[in-house]
Structure 1
């Protein structure tokens, strides 16, 4: 910058005071830049992201009302979703959409599931269990960590597996502030489940394939329930599949509504 530039006046100019001018009007009426200044302040206030109010009780309650209207009735699930700040698990640019019933991108071609889908799958998984059950749960596909945080409100222990290292690390960062002592994050191949902590009372998957990996049903406890998306044999469609392990060790399968999840893949990346 030249010396001439550095000497240039700074804008907006502010005429706070007139001196040496007899009979001058009060300074308060001699501020030609004041309307521009007020307009700038008004614009800055209007531009404050609505996300600054996302911790309010009302924002989350409106989401819960929508979930109730869609048929969610389990008070355990409602309480768990009320307890977890979904906006803390999405990118800042998308925070204003955190409590809408929509999926959102979280990077690497993955998404955070719609709240209604999260609630529906958890409600299905919990259905066979008494309200006060101390459950051991397995989640396949940690993603950004949101569903794992909801599951942690409902269980004695949650193990959550993620095959994509950047997402595993992101989830660990997102979850750190919540201090969930009953949640363990594992970087590994979700198709293999996690045998060291098996058997599980519930298994829930956030990715869908053409089959249900045998490791999942092998790690399901008697009386336990598995909920996962699976291809329905149509043109790329998926449905929710529920598998119950009965007391005698046999498996019972049922099919539910259509969903859309990212593909279930093997290995780690």
Structure 2
């Protein structure tokens, strides 16, 4: 999967590739879906949510320029797969999931694998997790109307927020927002993507 679907499509960060080779993706799909775990496509995980296709997970983590020692926030934990990959690079991962049932499943999967540097809670991801910040990277696995101000302000100086931002009715662009000073951010568009909507106080209602 990593060689054919991720590395060949341009993801080059060795930390990302090694982490994705380590994490068993079949653990993070629903029973009966294991045979499809290493295909490069999203899969349903319940509550109207999906586990993102592996290439997108790799692309987003590379875009965040994550390094060992970093603190990371993930919005939209889903099955826990991306948090697991992040945990093989970062010192600590905090993840927020809107659906309680998915939170519990993700926690069980991570515990089963012994990935004890991930903390997940159920809540409104658009508000972030201020008491655990600042974060060197924030990754959002849902499309937002604009980048939530709460998330932008929870970045450390030099940190990056990677988020799909919706333009018009349906078009989404993966966007990297880097905090350059207390009240300054640089923004870069990375390409078209397609995610479920980011629901919350600073997202879609």
Name the TM-score class by shorter chain.
over 0.9
Which has the larger Rg? Answer: 1
2:74 paired with 1:139 = yes
User: Which sits farther off after the overlay, 163-172 or 218-227?
Assistant: 163-172
Which residue matches 1:102?
41
Aligned to 2:55: 116
CA contact (8 A) 1:139 1:161 kept: yes
Displacement after TM superposition at 1:92 (Å): 2.2
- Decide which of 183, 191, 198 is 1:257's aligned counterpart: 191
Q: Which residue of 2 aligns with 1:193?
A: 128
Q: Deviations over 1:191-228 (max 9, x none)?
A: 11001111000000011121111100010000100001
State how 1:173-184 maps to structure 2 within 5 Å. Answer: 173-184=108-119
1:114 is displaced (CA, Å) by 0.4
- Normalized per residue, the structure richer in strand is 2
Q: Which runs of 5+ in 1 are unaligned?
A: 1-61
Question: Contact 1:64 / 1:82 at 8 angstroms: preserved in 2?
Answer: no
Q: Using CA pairs below 8 Å that are at least 6 residues apart, which structure has the higher relative contact order? A: 2
- State the Cα distance separating 1:180 from its structure 2 match: 1.6
Name the counterpart of 2:174.
240
* 1:210-250 deviation digits (Å, cap 9, x = unpaired): 111110001000010000111023x3111101100114641
Q: Does 1:224 align with 2:141?
A: no
Change (3 A) 1:212 1:98: same
Contact 2:110 2:116 in 1 (8 A): no
Partner in structure 1 of residue 21 of structure 2: 82
What SS does structure 1 have at the residue aligned with 2:63? helix
RMSD: 1.4
| Contiguous gaps of at least 5 residues in structure 2 | none
The Cα offsets for residues 89-117 of structure 1, whole Å up to 9 and x where unpaired, read as 10121111100101000001100000000
